[in-house]
Homo-oligomer: A and B are copies of this chain.
Amino acid sequence: MAEQVVRVGIVGFGTVGAGVARLLIEESDSIAARTGLRLELACVVDIDTQSDRPVRLPEGVLTTDLERLLNDDSIQIGVETVGGTEAAKEVQLKMLAAGKHVVTANKALLAEFGNELYRAAHKNNRCIAFEATCAGGIPIVSAIRSGLTANNIEAMYGIVNGTCNYILSSMTAKGESFADALAEAQSKGYAEADPTLDISGVDSAHKLAILASIAFGCEIALEDIFVEGIDSISKDDIRYGGEMGYCLKLLAIGHKDEVDKISLRVHPSFIGKDSSLARVDGPFNAISIFGSAVGQVMFYGRGAGMMPTASAVVADIIDVALGNSATTFRHLHMRPRNEAQELIEKIDDCTSRFYIRLMAKDEPGVVASYSKILGDHMISISGALQHEGRGPDNTVPVVIVTHTTQQKNMTGALEDLAKLDVISGEPVCIRIVDIPEDKD
């Protein structure tokens, strides 16, 4: 069969852009042998043409001129690896208007402006392919949109931020403080110099917005997602939770109940030590999906990094070149924003079990005081742990695990607990997530 030539332009020559360029150059022959598609790197656009990159481009490929890409009708596919939202959005819109299909790894952009960009793509009869936006090289977007499409997806639980997972894994395994674990992650290249986007949970929320929109067939907005980061997690709570059989992970959770109410949240989560996700350590990502027919399926791999992300971008380029992406994109029906909004459960109504730690003064009446408050808020205690030994101000840590209750009950109880004389400082509260493991 004759090879079909596919010409590709890249905008943004950072880490991911360089990885994509490298794959396109180095794997061109083997991709042609496997698929019959000859991928050609037509140009790479970046304002910085001087810095060293881990790939050597052929003469004349690197340019500062976006117009060169836009005006070259032989280029069918534009890869946007600019990052950020403002400039990147403009690049994508210009590429779509110029008749290019778009492939992107930009999760922040799609999470914030995806609905608008998808509409622009539909209007121009082009597609946006975004496998690389979620969980790096793990083909999770195509799994949800194609492989599991016969299923009503009931829930997804994901470890989708490698930085946070690295930090929490270190804190768990070595008893390190958050600050030490973060510094270690930075020294190993698993955390940025400014780690805010990762440790605040916002990066995970970006990915959840994208995954939930395709899994539940709804236009999701970032503000639909409740977000809590890991920056205030103490090693003591990881240890106490561990003693009670739990492991702490930052989870991105999408859950649909029987009446189709959708709960979307990112927060530190105690999960059973035996659950599949508890065993995902270090910088790795994993996503468990529960489908009505398939039961539990889990996907595991590197959620970031130059070549894993480039692997997903180039897979999308091939899928676009074959014409499959455009078909899938055209058939991607989503409930519009106004309808979808009605389905989103408010965090106050969300139910969970909870882990609470109080620093209690070591004097009579403490148990009675906190028990009464929890009871008053309709919260029932399922377990408690009080170590001997002193904390600051002559206090001892009291750890309480509750039965399932609504968030609003817990919020009320925490306010009252904080006011107790026998309690020092703010109570710590971490959600316990019972992942419904599919067992025999």
Contacts and interface: CB of A to CB of B under 8 A. Distances in A.
Contacts of A146: 139, 142, 146, 315, 318-319, 324
* Interface core residue of A34, A152, A190, A299 (most chain B CB under 10 Å): A34
* Interface core residue of A137, A312, A322 (most chain B CB under 10 Å): A137
Given A150-B310, A150-B311, A440-B282, A33 B217 contact: yes
Contacts of A294: 136-138, 301-302, 307-308, 311-312
A352 to B, nearest CB: 25
Contact of A150 (B31, B150, B151, B152): B31
The 5 closest A-B pairs by CB, nearest first: A139-B147, A150-B314, A137-B294, A297-B301, A293-B311
Nearest to A310: B293
Contacts of A332: 35
A35 B315 contact: no
Nearest to A322: B327
Given A293-B311, A294-B311, A333 B33 contact: yes
A343 interface: no
A148 B291 CA distance: 23
A36 interface: yes
Interface in A4-56: 19, 23, 27, 30-31, 33-37
Contacts of A33: 217, 333
Given A190-B440, A324-B324, A139 B143 contact: yes
A34 B295 contact: no
Copies in the complex: 2
Contact of A276 (B300, B307, B322): B300
A323 interface: yes
A298 interface: yes
A325 to B, nearest CB: 9
Interface of A: 1, 19, 23, 27, 30-31, 33-37, 131, 136-139, 142-143, 146-152, 166, 188, 190, 217, 276, 279, 282-283, 291-302, 305, 307-308, 310-315, 317-319, 322-324, 327-328, 331-333, 438-440
A336 B34 CA distance: 12
Contacts of A27: 150-152, 292-293
Contacts of A312: 147, 150, 294
Given A36-B331, A323-B327, 4 more contacts: A147-B315, A150-B312, A294-B308, A294-B311
Contacts of A147: 131, 138-139, 142-143, 312, 315
Contacts of A305: 295
B150 A318 contact: yes
B291 A295 contact: no
A36 B311 CA distance: 30
A171 B190 CA distance: 40
Given A188-B440, A297-B137, A149 B315 contact: yes
A307 B293 contact: yes
Contacts of A315: 146-150
A36 B331 CA distance: 6
A241 to B, nearest CB: 21
